[in-house]
Amino acid sequence: MSDPEADDLSRANPSGAPDDEDDERAGSPFDHPAFLPVLVFAMAIWFGYDGWFNEKIESVRFNRYGFGFLLGAGAYFTLVELTRARYLLPLLFVGYALWLAGLEWLGAPNAWYNDIESARLFNRYAALAFLGLAPLAAVRDWLRLRRERSRG
């Protein structure tokens, strides 16, 4: 008895030759490996400009935090595309946690992130959250590496 899926496939392409449509399809700019790192770094520059050089806007604090997070994300995406290294996401999370915790201990005593209670609480709890996410990301990378080794 013949396989019904094989029959459907042979009717779709009776010559048995592979379709060339997929091979001829032009790649979009979104497929380029530098697209995401360049986009994230461009957003970081925008946030940095609004956070430190354009203090006339209301969201200066938001832009300063966004600059730090986007700078870390841009470095992460760049390293992922260039090296394909493992365990970069846990390192990024630990870096974020150290940055947020370090603002309180190593930052300027009269800085805006020490004067406002909500900013101090955000720094503390976000640092703890990133420290909690780092081992989860490490386990995820370890399981992915283990699964790839078992297949190959």
For 57-100, write each residue's pLDDT tens digit: 888 888 888 998 999 999 998 988 888 888 899 999 999 999 88
Please give the mean pLDDT across all residues of the chain.
81
DSSP string covering 103-119, please?
A: HHHHS-TTSHHHH-HHH
Do the Cβ atoms of 65 and 44 come closer than 8 Å? no
Query: Which tops the pLDDT comparison, 3 or 80?
Result: 80
- pLDDT at 148 exceeding the cut of 60: yes
Instruction: Tell me the pTM.
Output: 0.66
Q: How far apart are CA 21 and CA 40, in angstroms?
A: 33
Which comes out higher in pLDDT, residue 103 or 43?
43
